Amino acid sequence: MKGSKWEGYIRKDGRKGIRNLILVAYLVECAHHVSTEIAIPYKHDGVQVIGFGGCYPNKHADRVMKRLCTHPNVGAVLLVSLGCESFNKRSLANTIEESGRPVNTLVIQETGGTRKTVAEGRRWVEETRLILKETPKVEMGLSDLVVGAICGGSDATSGISGNPAVGMVFDKLSNENSIAIFEETGEMIGCEDHLVSRAQTLGLAEELRKSMQKAARYYTVMGHASFAPGNADGGLSTIEEKSLGAYSKSGSSKISGLLKPGDIPEKGGLYLLDVVPDGEPRFGFPNINDNAEISELISCGCHIILFITGRGSVVGSAISPVIKICANPKTYDRMSDDMDVNAGKVILGDADLQTIADEILAKIHEISMGNKSASEGLGHQEFVLQYKSFQPAGPSCLP
């Protein structure tokens, strides 16, 4: 892939996108159904639904929605409000407009209910699709990409094949000055010393250690670690054993920084995303499901998400394509329609880790050029945004 180039969409802030999507964004759960109805005719034509279901304000949700609606893969946004929720729709609309994207806000209570709002929303989408055909394109390469990694439905094969292969991909991306982001601290408990030893600065090393200690305290209070019955059924014995596999997807490069959701790195390198809320536990489990973490990775600018699974998963995502990497050859045989890369060949002795890493890199290139991932082709556009609370990252967290 060295030297490979393709065309992307240039944005006002200089970032480049591999998709040119229209988002229909609901600002309270009461507007979710209307938003979905607006988008249904265009489900396979680059119109996707995201949103925040809460009626009460949350700074984390505000920040993430602003990052998602101005993501480089997004070309335009239709905001859908019921009208009496507390979400600051004017601030969000202003942020989108300032980014150079077409934006419109529909208020259901003012527009006249479900049917009228759906009709008005579809009319705007039709007009905006024509406008987006004129979006300027520019050359893109690996150094323009932000790639995230998450593992879900992990089993005993995940840390042997899929995760370490992604780690090799992340080493390659770091060398190419791409941005690579892995998560999350709650699934790497026990690997603190390894993480700290890879920090580029002493200040970052201390921040990494504190973030790991925060995660351990949070899960202790919640009374449940990031460990599911499916992990145990798949051959993992403890959170520490699961952590070793999760940690291996980070590769071996130096860690450049520690991010909170919505932080967008300005320099290439390897970054850890901390998704565990700051302060006392108030909002339940920090990784309520895989898609909550995916949306937070995307809020940091990820164009593509690498998703490693051993037990099997079918989820995709709105905004950024998900590349599904299957670590278990038996799972791949059962669920090949949902998978992009069969890392289980390592388990069978039919391939080595470098071969799988090369396959993943080739898939990144293919999907960056506009080809659909398996989950995209199947129409998966899952999205979750939950209540959380974060303090800004300290100066030692970023390069």
d(C-alpha 84, C-alpha 107), whole Å: 9
pLDDT classification of 118: cutoffs 50, 70, 90: very high
d(C-alpha 353, C-alpha 370), whole Å: 26
CB count within 10 Å of CB 245 equals 27
* Residue 284 pLDDT > 60: yes
* Residue 399 pLDDT > 90: no
* Residue 236 pLDDT > 80: no
Q: Look up residue 374 and give its amino acid.
A: A
pLDDT classification of 372: cutoffs 50, 70, 90: very high
pLDDT classification of 276: cutoffs 50, 70, 90: very high
CB count within 10 Å of CB 86 equals 12
Residue-wise pLDDT for 152-181, tens only, equals: 877 888 888 999 999 999 999 999 999 999
**Percentage, residues of the chain above pLDDT 70:** 94
Q: Which residues contact 116 (CB under 8 A, 6 or more apart)?
A: none
* Residue 3 pLDDT > 70: no
Instruction: Please answer whether residues 48 and 22 qualify as being in contact, where contact means their C-beta atoms are separated by less than 8 angstroms.
Output: yes
Fold category of 21-134 in CATH: Rossmann fold (3.40.50)
Instruction: Please answer whether residues 230 and 312 qualify as being in contact, where contact means their C-beta atoms are separated by less than 8 angstroms.
Output: no
What are the sequence ranges of the domains in the chain? 21-134, 142-397
DSSP assignments along 182-248, one per residue: E--GGG-TT-HHHHHHTBSSHHHHHHHHHHHHHHHHHHHHHT--S--HHHHHTT--SHHHHHHHHHH
Mean pLDDT of all residues in the chain?
93
Q: Which residues contact 113 (CB under 8 A, 6 or more apart)?
A: none
Q: CA dist 251 to 169, 175, 329, Å? A: 8, 12, 22
Q: Residue 7 corresponds to which tokens in the numbers above?
A: 């065309």
Give 326's strand partners.
Answer: 309, 342
Residue-wise pLDDT for 238-265, tens only, equals: 555 656 777 889 999 999 999 999 999 9
pTM: 0.95
Residue-wise pLDDT for 28-44, tens only, equals: 999 999 999 999 999 99
Helices then strands, each counted (H, E), the chain: 15, 14
Q: Could you give phi then psi for residue 37, rounded to 5 degrees?
A: -65, -35
Instruction: Please answer whether residues 78 and 25 qualify as being in contact, where contact means their C-beta atoms are separated by less than 8 angstroms.
Output: yes
